[in-house]
Structure 1
């Protein structure tokens, strides 16, 4: 029987998670500066928001139910699943880190949206208030993060896939229901990614010097995530280019911007999931 226990030294270093956190923060800043602080970014975001009228007509009853139930469902599901996994694996330290990371992500979003970040009035018609990042998406993604951190290395790709799908349903629903813009949802995913990396740092430091660590089996799960990611990424980039060059023309095409926004949200979610799967593949 093949053993997956391998002796490591470099894999226990928190450096990979520190780098991941700084990369997530850098991308978050870039998205904020472009989508919220520039005329082109606000225009494109608003076009996607206006194009969501199609989503509101087609799936509003479903999205409204999702949004109404999301906070409670996310918290209950996160608590129950993480509690079960912790009881089975008997790892209280991981539970503490997982809960702390999830709570930190939710609080960070509220501080950013309510206190630190502003949306200047650049003359773009539409909702002028700051909604960056999305609180609903953060709650869903943070709950998924808690489950991800307490799961075993062999099943992390699956929990990342399921948790990301849950968070994306919430994020796309906020766009379709006219609550948030695409950049708000992507920003929420990045906030959770930062705190996920912080949790990785805490786990590598807190667990001490283990002589061995379990390496996950070959990354079939990562390949599945990549196959989902690529087509949505292609659509998102294509729609972004079309919307960018048409944003100030006579036919901006809100539906194209909406499709691009949804694709960008999904692509961002699975990029985070794929990165997390690889970063945490060797962490017990």
Structure 2
């Protein structure tokens, strides 16, 4: 005897329906945008405009050694203007295929606006010579900005059930890029934190004022709870671990004058900043939970 089943959709898929729950969604993303907006000048003021901030960050640069360099700089070389434009086209194509062109345009805007903002800030921001700093201004990191903005944009056009995989791959790449720029001596920790804030600002702004990314259609199904919970736990543990290692390395470096420890502290601080922003986006997107509450929606299906 055939069974009649009514399709269901989960709460996260129906929360962005343009009514009350949408206000909560917009508020969450607006809050992240405001956070990014505040972090950029705050980090610049503390790390770049003060003698103490410059000395601490330059101490990490003093720990750069040839033996510390990664065997390949492919991750950094990938980031270029043609690749950025190609990424925007691919994002728009995926969004068009999913009939979410408006979301795709918003995602592309996140990438382009983040890259443009990072370039503009680097041109207008100055690094005063108040602590015998050996290198010119590098705030913020364009490589880290684009790596994060690209991840956030791809997540916007990716079906919810596939986002855990996309996020893990993108997070690993973003952390690797942040580490490479610090190890190579291209950027300081503040440059990475500033890049995180720039990408977070534009993502939060687009998600707050733009169309809902998830609308409850089949492609927006949440998938299994297991992978999402694993990703959440891994992100939280990774943030905690990098912070802990970074603090220990900082203490060793400052008390013993160990530049290698200072470099490690800088790498861990950069990684922690990247992972913290990614975790915040993951939680704001409601990807950390899959409520069991469902409701009927749509015509009955014979199975």
| Shorter-chain TM-score range | 0.7 to 0.9
Partner of 1:236: 246
Alpha-carbon contact 1:106-1:139 (below 8 Å) kept: yes
CA distance in 1, matches of 2:248, 2:39: 20
User: Deviation of residue 179 (structure 1)?
Assistant: 1.1
Number of residue-to-residue matches in the alignment: 270
The correspondence of residues 26-37 of structure 1 with structure 2, limited to 5 A, is 26-37=38-49
1:278, CA displacement in angstroms?
A: 1.3
Tell me how far apart the structure 2 counterparts of residues 60 and 144 of structure 1 sit (CA, whole Å): 22
Q: State which structure, 1 or 2, has the greater radius of gyration over its C-alpha atoms.
A: 2
Aligned match for 2:61, one of 33, 49, 57: 49
Note the residue ranges of structure 2 that are not aligned, 5 or more in a row: 288-303
**Which residue of the other structure, out of 105, 117, 141, is the alignment partner of 1:96?**
105
Which has the larger share of helix? 1
TM-score by length of 1: 0.83
Query: What is the alpha-carbon root mean square deviation over aligned residues?
Result: 2.9
Is the contact between residue 96 and residue 104 of structure 2 (CA under 8 Å) also seen in structure 1?
no
User: Alpha-carbon deviation of 1:162?
Assistant: 1.8
Instruction: Choose from 106, 109, 112 the match for 2:115.
Output: 106
1:198-256: per-residue Cα shift (whole Å, max 9, x none)? 121133xx359x7999684644122221122221121123334454x54xxxx421111
Partner of 2:205: 198
Corresponding residue of 1:184: 191
Instruction: Please list, as runs of the form range in 1=range in 2, the aligned pairs for 1:1-284 lying within 5 A after superposition.
Output: 3-6=8-11, 7-8=14-15, 9-13=19-23, 14-53=26-65, 56-63=66-73, 65-71=74-80, 74-75=83-84, 78-79=87-88, 82-83=91-92, 85-115=94-124, 117-127=125-135, 129-203=136-210, 206-207=211-212, 216=222, 218=225, 219-220=228-229, 221-243=231-253, 245-246=254-255, 251-281=256-286
* Structure 1 unmatched runs, 5+: none
**CA shift in 2, pair 1:81/1:242, >3 Å:** farther
C-alpha change, 1:230 and 1:171, in structure 2 (3 Å) is: same
Residues 159, 77 of structure 1: alpha-carbon distance in 2 compared, 3 angstrom cutoff = farther
| In 2: Cα distance, 1:237 partner to 1:41 partner | 16
